[in-house]
Every structure is written in structure tokens, then in C-alpha cells.
Structure 1
Amino acid sequence: MYPFLETKDLTDNLFSDTDVQHPAAFESLEEVVVKIPNSIVHLINNQQSVELASGVFEIIRIRQGGNVVAVLARIGTEVQWSLAKDEAVVKIEGSCYYFNVRVPLLSDDGVEPDDLINYGLTIIGKGSEELDRVLEEYSTFSVKEVDRAVVEGGSPQAKSPKKQSKE
């Protein structure tokens, strides 16, 4: 009653000779752009900071053909998030970073409000200079100084955030 199909019939000639693009144009490639050992990632909210993972922090660029289709930040295999030009990344002091990640949530009434997830990254050691360059390219990156007097219990003195300039 129903025609019999072989699996090979479905995959043979998937891309005909008349197609403009070749199958090689659809191959994905994962490139490690930055690799920093001795890093710690925290999930941050208003009340606390919880360590999620520690180890090697990487920025990964995923290419398909000649195009960059995604840029990911990850630490080990436990935690990963995407970087985007419309997401803020703030460098606080020399080796601490704060990432805002917007996640669409579906509410009970069907509306999709945006919710922010905030990650903190602490780098123990070297590697922040190269990371700054990459974050400037793939996110909205800025640098903010922390007033040492406030940290040590003194009176607050406002310091304006510095925008990282491209050189």
C-alpha cells in the first residue's frame, strides 16, 4: 500500500550538480579564539554569587563556510553562553568580568519577556589583554574602575565608567 523507501535514496544527490553552493560551504568549524587557564565563572544575582565552574575559559568562534555564525564563551563542558554585540560585558579591575546574557522566557500569558542572566568571570593569572580585544570585537565591552576607598570601607567617590577604545 505504501511505497518502500531506502535510506540511501533519501541522502543520495542531496545537493545536485546544478546547485550554486557545494556541500563544503555548509561545513561547520569551531575555532578557539582565546584560551585562558585558571578561570572561575560565577552566576550572579542581587544577593549572592555562586561558583558554577572553574578551569580553562575559552572564546569559541563557529564558522560555516566563510561566515562567523556564533561566538561562544565557555568554561569546561559545564557552562557556555553566546556573545553578541547587543549584550554588555564590563571589565571590573584587572581580571574580573561581568557578562549580561538576555534569555527570552515564555510567561503564562504567552508574552516573551526578556530576563537577564549575569555571569562573573575571574581570571587568576594572565590572559586578560587578549580577552579584552576579543570582547571588544564581539560584544558591547566597557571598562569600569572600582574606587579602592569604597572597597576598603571609605566614603564613595563616583568614578565614571571608561569605554574601551579601539586602537
Structure 2
Amino acid sequence: MGTVRPIHEHIRSGTYRDDRHGDKIVLPPADLVEPKWTDLLPGSSAEAKRTRKDAAELWSRTAPVLSLAAGLTDAQRETLAMFCVSVANYWAVTREISRTGNLLKGRTGELVKNPLHTVRTMYVNEITALRKELGLSPATAARITRPATSSGGDSDDIWD
């Protein structure tokens, strides 16, 4: 037997069926509540403020789309918040690499790779995984369809 897909994946991909999935837990729709960015990204420096602004802007662009297209609810907002924080931090690290350079002088004066490249790679891996989880990668987004309903009405019928 294959792996069991979560119910929200069936809803997002359009394969939801009452006879198969009716007894599963389905999260009711609830508006996504934006996190308090000062709690997640504390600091008073100009870079910290810019990182909070970047995360908030990404949330404002992404949350409404995911709420409508993928049925993301407030119970799942942590994944989206992690995505926004990771992308904002990725941009901050990239800006710092741009300021300090790709190569730095080591202890003995030789040129070494900027250690921030390792940090940036960690963010890239985290962002890639979260994009797939949220259905934001191009391949995943191409598979998302609005669920079909038997009543021919709006897709919100599955919440009734």
C-alpha cells in the first residue's frame, strides 16, 4: 500500500471524494492571521527592520493566494510564516554577501570563501522544502486545481 496523502492535498489537487475522504479531518476555512514580525524577527538595526518589512510584504502577496487557491487556513499559518521568514533572511544574507564580497581574507591573509554562502545555502534548502509544502514551486502549482463538487456549486461546499 502506498503512502497516505493528507486530506488537504486531495482538496488542493482536485481528487477529494466524499465517499473516500468524508471521514477524514478537514480544517474549516479561517482567515490567515499575519504573525507579529517583531516577535519573529527582533532587532532594531536597519537590516532587521528591512528583513521584517520583506517578510511582511511577502506575506501580504502570498497569504491571500494560498488561502484561496490551496485552502490554507490559520491552523496552518506557521508553515507560511516560516517561508516568509526564510525568504526574508535569505535576502538579508544575500545583501550582506553583496556588501562584504564573495571572498574574504582569512587569518593568514589568504582569500577564503565568505562563510555566509553556507548560511545562504541553508536558507535555499529550507525555502525549497517550504515552497513544495505550500505548493509554490512551479511543478507543484501546475498540479493544483480547484476541487470539483458534486453539486456544481462553489468549492466551499465541502466545508458545509
Q: Same fold (TM over 0.5)?
A: no
* More strand as a share of residues: 1
TM bucket normalised to smaller: under 0.3
Tell me the TM-score normalised to structure 1 length: 0.20
Tell me the TM-score normalised to structure 2 length: 0.20
* More helix as a share of residues: 2
